[in-house]
Chain A
Amino acid sequence: MTRPRSYREATARRRVAGLLDAGTFTEWVGPGARATSPHLAALGAPVSFDDGVVVGEGRLAGERVVVIAQEGLFNGGAVGEVHGAKIRGAFERACAEPPRAVVFCIDSGGVRLHEANAGLLAISEIMRAQFAAQSAGIPVWALVGGACGAFGGMGIVARLCDAVVMSEEGRLGLSGPEVIETVKGVEEFDARDRALVWRVTGGKIRRTLGEATHLVEDDLTAFREAVAALLSSRQGPVPFTLETLQAAQAGLEGRAARDAAVRDGQVLWDRLGLDDAALMETAQFNRRLQELS
């Protein structure tokens, strides 16, 4: 039974409508512009009027935000030339007319293979445009709760964001379990073992590791409230200096050394005394994690 306000089950357009204050959204290069992918068409693959991404501006709790929302149901939210250019353009627009934040609803497996080279370059261009927005003082917040998660280049982009709001159902990583299983074998990663997949890539383990900054219920209102809380905290982008990056380096070195042999999130939870983490309600999980910190 699908909950009526599930974030995971909502389309990109519904997510935008559910996140923003009613009636405040203005779309840039919307579906009426018919900016479809000529590369999909050349391969006889179906195209979409928005090429699988919605970009524009609106208000959230009264504050102006730029919103980018990928449609995971269209080609797995994958990034092609037009799709990527819309995202890049949204970041450039944010630099020209600074909003309070950029809210980035990532739902993507990464590069769209039908236009792989264009997709790879587009993601690189998105990374640079995102850096420019952050350097201009605009925080970028990722929401990851769609069926495609955030993988490939979009997994990197998600981790460049200043906050990452996930649901337990969301997934975050670089190579998808299916890719690893195909190349390295089922012993390395059994992609059909859904519980294992979530213990390695899912929202709870990402929150445990601190990569997700917030864990919320799979509910549009919960995602909206998390963004509203970020807005009211008045946080800017994470500062970006030699000192902060040296500190980040030390933190990552420490984690790589500490977890040198770990292949299952359960091991980390057992170590923390959170052995039943996978079964906990989101609120309880957050409370327990809070007690540990």
Chain B
Amino acid sequence: MDDKSALFRRLFPAGHDVACQGPVLQGWGDAGDGRMHVVGTTDHAAIDTRIALDLARAVLEAVAQDAGRAPRPIVFVADTQGQALSRHEELLGLNGYFAHLARCVHLARQQGHRLVTLIDGEAVSGGFLAFGLLGDAIVALPGAEVRVMDLRAMARITRIPLERLAELARTSPVFAPGAENYWRMGGIHALWAPQDDWGAALRSLCAETGTEDQRARLGTERGGRRLALAIARQVRDAA
């Protein structure tokens, strides 16, 4: 199993207790300001109905635990290769299980929990959409891989030569894998370096993060996504 305990020691110098059930992580950690909830996946999990349900239950338990008290932040640890690919999972309606998980995450936000996602390992398309990508703030840790599809597969499907994609990917963040690309597009709020104090960074992120979706604005400011905010505004303000 991919060991996240080194990560948790860095994040939570004041202590942590995170259990691992299959690839699902659930527990608490203390970065110095008191306990926060920890929910996530490890081992590049391919998210199936079982994992989606376990994650959703963990989020609902965090919300239930804090009923009647100040809601504590929830730290999502995202490490997923995407959704499970199987006929059985499709028949069950895996997309509906992901939608349920997304609703649980949104409920937590509405109940006042700050949601911080840490990508440690991989974050890939569907498995990322259902929960990590719904955080109020999203951080990529060193070595994190974020993508929809690698360039080779993309070249095959779009029938655009790989060389052309690779060439364009040097300047455009819009399709090629990479945490930096997502940062430029505003989809990742921060990239933490190995030498950073992650506990302190997590504390300040929890204190500063709001609940508005700022990603399109960040993408505009950082120059990696120039149309998302502008077009949405045009639609909102159209006569």
Contacts and interface: CB of A to CB of B under 8 A. Distances in A.
Interface of A: 28-29, 33, 35, 38-39, 42-45, 55, 81-82, 84-86, 88-90, 92-93, 96, 111, 113-125, 127-129, 131, 135, 150-153, 155-160, 172-175, 177, 179-180, 183-184, 188-189, 200-201, 205-206, 209, 211, 240-242, 245-246, 248-249, 252-253, 255-256, 259, 261-265
B174 interface: yes
A241 B53 CA distance: 17
A179 B85 contact: yes
Given A43-B160, A252-B100, A90 B133 contact: no
18 contacts: A28-B238, A42-B168, A43-B158, A43-B168, A81-B227, A85-B230, A113-B148, A117-B147, A120-B187, A121-B182, A153-B125, A156-B98, A156-B99, A180-B86, A241-B107, A249-B57, A261-B88, A263-B88
B25 interface: no
A54 B106 CA distance: 27
B80 interface: no
Given A127-B134, A189-B87, A262-B91, A86 B175 contact: no
Nearest to B83: A174
A117 B185 contact: yes
Which 5 interchain pairs have the tightest Cβ spacing?
A89-B235, A159-B99, A85-B231, A155-B95, A116-B148
Contacts of A153: 125-126, 129
Given A113-B157, A117-B173, A174-B83, A124 B49 contact: no
B57 to A, nearest CB: 6
A252 to B, nearest CB: 6
B91 A263 contact: yes
B93 A173 contact: yes
Nearest to A39: B174
B231 A89 contact: yes
B90 A262 contact: no
Contact of A113 (B175, B228, B238): B175
Contact of B130 (A39, A45, A156): A156
A59 B159 CA distance: 42
Nearest to B230: A85
B229 to A, nearest CB: 7
A127 B133 CA distance: 10
Chain B contact residues, majority secondary structure: helix
B193 interface: no
A242 B63 CA distance: 8
A124 B134 contact: yes
Contacts of A39: 172, 174-175
A179 B231 CA distance: 31
B198 interface: no
A263 B168 contact: no
A245 B110 CA distance: 13
A256 B53 contact: yes
Interface in B36-80: 49-50, 53, 56-57, 60, 63-64, 67
B89 to A, nearest CB: 8
Contact of A121 (B87, B104, B185, B234): B185
Contacts of A96: 236
B102 A160 contact: yes
A86 B93 contact: no
B93 A175 contact: no
Chain A contact residues, majority secondary structure: helix
A259 B231 contact: no
Contacts of B90: 173-175, 177, 180, 189, 200-201
Given A89-B233, A121-B215, A249-B104, 19 more contacts: A82-B227, A84-B228, A85-B216, A85-B228, A113-B149, A113-B157, A116-B147, A116-B154, A117-B174, A121-B216, A121-B225, A121-B228, A153-B129, A155-B95, A156-B129, A159-B93, A183-B85, A200-B90, A253-B53
Contact of A209 (B83, B93, B230): B93
A130 to B, nearest CB: 10
A83 to B, nearest CB: 9
Given A119-B148, A245-B107, A246-B60, A259 B92 contact: yes
Given A89-B233, A123-B129, A125-B228, A81 B92 contact: no
A116 B149 contact: yes
A55 B110 CA distance: 28
Contacts of B158: 43, 45, 113-114
Contacts of A246: 60
